[in-house]
Structure 1
């Protein structure tokens, strides 16, 4: 049997380490749809070491079942791979290593046993926490060498298990253990032993799986045979359709937002607004796909030109600087989605306005905004200023802009008022000027 061999890995084992063991294509941790996309390439086998857990949908059992029904061997170990292998062993997925064996036997049950916090692909998936399975293996080794006793080992396991997986780290475990009054002598002995004695069971299992695959391939791996009939359900077709939109081995940065970036949004009070805007973007792209709309080369070029003008990126150098600053690795994909979003915005503009009042009600802003708008209408109508002009305000246009931006908004007058107007939802700068005039005349300074 010939074909490529795909391995999904990340924080457990680097691609460089993996290539030293096995000639394969190493991909980022598996998320939902990745095994489906890999199967489309007709590999001889797929190995799952690492996979996403929380913010990104996890690799789905059904895509693994489909891969095996297509004659592809699927192996799992160490982390997400061990979990899925234990769950699907009865259907033919092959697990490797002691972590898989512990899940299969029921000794381990919780997903958090293998979950870790880690950095992005750019950061080499740098580990930010310790896996519970590694803590257990390390403590077992420490006990066998006499560094800690059985009671202390069991207590340390309990302390570590009680921590949220993102908080599990040896300094934290040892500090909490000391607070609980565990024997200081044993804790200090363990602290001194850890730098050379720590056991990385996940890495050991990952290497064991790669070596197992190497042996099996050398012996000759016939197409996978399964005893079940794969059901093409509606849910499966929906996941398959969504997965088809993304490339295999895509840049993690395009799909996963680092926790550190989310924290920056949260600390600035911007998370909810950004999340809702992202949801609207996702739904717009999804709707365009459902309606069969595609963006050809001409449309992508038009979208790029409009995008550049809107943001003042007039030269090729400005646009390239923006692309690098914003870490846009796949510009074509970005422009395709941007084109779809703009098309759906136009298509559903009336529907969006119809839902705007309910959105404002949900955010608690509708009543106050409506009352202010009605007051403004009454005041202007009483003064005969429904369509005011600059002369009515006794100001020059420059003075009007300075009053609005500097005194009302506390910011400098934008260099590009036309762009500001469009970004703010006005049709053009004339519409912005009329609105600012009405604001000035309805609520002059001192009122």
Structure 2
């Protein structure tokens, strides 16, 4: 019965009430609501959101949550904006800022936008919100401390200032320099020191009060409006984010790529995920016979069964005929022929991974890698560091005990990477994460040890998967 609230600079940690079942998350981004909605929380609240360096929270993902019967509340900042836009669909807006946007008194997004520090510094606010400046000046005007002309002149000064540089105290200095009445500026300075109005904070606390009072009430029925599926919704579902349970959101592709770097482990995962897909794939591909023969030859060579007598003995021991074993190989060839388009296999893969005992470790490692790369400015590792692509790739393949492929693109796509570039980027992320410096070219990646985790050499099905895959990517 947990509620989630996205909040950043509007409410300091000490101002966030924790006397109910609530989890506070950093400012919302595109994909966060969709990821949370799949966990079926009791409610979602939006106060703050990011938009400048990442895509802003998407209207359709909020509609998705509402359609699923999850109450979504908004106030103060990004939450007030989205609530004003989606109130007709059932999003609950709370507070004066929301009301002003809903009624058209406010229209500009910059009214609530502020500059602030990052998550590691508690999202400390670095500028004043225009709505707070308005509320403070109107409060001083209502008490007769300043006249209408001074109030409007100061509002104009603040509005013309770029939002990261807005500061009411600096505006007072500008007003004095512009010749506004000295006694009004002095009175206003004293008022600001003791009675400045933080309207965004007031609205956020009001929203939390409402959410807390309604928490645990009877489930809300699904919103009564049609939700049109489209390619963007499908892509968000299969290539979007998941909530990791530790206050962070991870890309589904990043989690799966973590496993793809360990080929045998990924083949096991893929084999499990394809269970519900293969029966619907239709006829074998045109080259199925040649691929089956190549995989069969590789299987026999790998297991030292090239001599006919040894091969017949092995088949008899395992109760197979030549044809029945070849059929197993051909079935695997059919499964390997499935090339998911647009991440169509991602959700089956994720479901299979979640049942794997190593899933918590995979999640922790993906999260740790993401935070490491962000902290070290390696969001684009492909252009970072003195090591060449070939050196990094050789480091990786040596670490997992595999020969350097002749065709990187073929190898990458055989593991369902989009292309060779995505594979190289993922390997570079692994390199930077494990090494931390270019001197690690002599180090052995953890991938070697991690590759062995969960490998069952006695499972014939997985050994067949290995043979078909190896034959596929090593083909010329």
Over 3 Å counting, the alpha-carbon distance change for 1:335 and 1:12 in structure 2 is: closer
Over 3 Å counting, the alpha-carbon distance change for 1:294 and 1:128 in structure 2 is: same
**Secondary structure class of the residue paired with 2:5:** strand
Does the CA contact (< 8 Å) of 1:53 and 1:115 recur in 2?
no
Q: CA deviation at 1:159?
A: 0.8
Does the CA contact (< 8 Å) of 1:22 and 1:211 recur in 2?
no
Distance 1:103 1:153 in 2: 21
> Residues 252-271 of structure 1: CA distance to partner in whole angstroms, max 9, x if unpaired?
9x99xxxxxxxxxxxxxxxx
Does the CA contact (< 8 Å) of 1:99 and 1:133 recur in 2?
yes
Specify which of 68, 71, 74 is matched with residue 69 of structure 2: 71
Specify which of 220, 236, 244 is matched with residue 223 of structure 1: 220
Q: CA deviation at 1:105?
A: 0.1
Q: CA deviation at 1:145?
A: 1.6
Over 3 Å counting, the alpha-carbon distance change for 1:231 and 1:193 in structure 2 is: same
Over 3 Å counting, the alpha-carbon distance change for 1:107 and 1:418 in structure 2 is: closer
Matches for 1:72-111 after TM superposition, within 5 Å: 72-111=70-109
Q: CA deviation at 1:21?
A: 5.7
- Give the corresponding residue for 1:424: none
> Residues 405-441 of structure 1: CA distance to partner in whole angstroms, max 9, x if unpaired?
xxxxxxxxxx97988xxxxxxxxxxxxxxxxxxxxxx
Q: CA deviation at 1:334?
A: 7.0
> Residues 98-136 of structure 1: CA distance to partner in whole angstroms, max 9, x if unpaired?
000000000000110000000112211111000000000
| Structure 1 residue 237 corresponds to structure 2 residue 234 | yes
TM-score normalized with structure 1 length? 0.58
Over 3 Å counting, the alpha-carbon distance change for 1:170 and 1:238 in structure 2 is: same
Q: CA deviation at 1:71?
A: 0.8
Over 3 Å counting, the alpha-carbon distance change for 1:154 and 1:123 in structure 2 is: same
Matches for 1:12-411 after TM superposition, within 5 Å: 12-20=10-18, 22-217=20-215, 220-244=217-241, 247=244, 250-251=247-248, 294-296=260-262, 330-331=367-368, 333=370, 346-347=408-409
User: Over aligned residues, Cα RMSD in angstroms?
Assistant: 3.9
Does the CA contact (< 8 Å) of 1:129 and 1:166 recur in 2?
yes
Number of matched residues? 297
Higher relative contact order (CA 8 A, sep 6+): 2
Does the CA contact (< 8 Å) of 1:27 and 1:249 recur in 2?
no
Over 3 Å counting, the alpha-carbon distance change for 1:20 and 1:335 in structure 2 is: closer
Distance 1:292 1:333 in 2: 11
Q: CA deviation at 1:221?
A: 3.6
Distance 1:417 1:6 in 2: 41
**Secondary structure class of the residue paired with 1:25:** strand
**Secondary structure class of the residue paired with 1:29:** coil
Distance 2:28 2:255 in 1: 26
Gaps of 5+ in 2: 267-364, 374-378, 383-391, 397-404, 413-418, 422-437, 443-476
Distance 2:46 2:221 in 1: 16
**Secondary structure class of the residue paired with 1:72:** coil
**Secondary structure class of the residue paired with 2:208:** helix
Distance 1:298 1:19 in 2: 47
Q: CA deviation at 1:76?
A: 0.3
Distance 1:153 1:221 in 2: 47
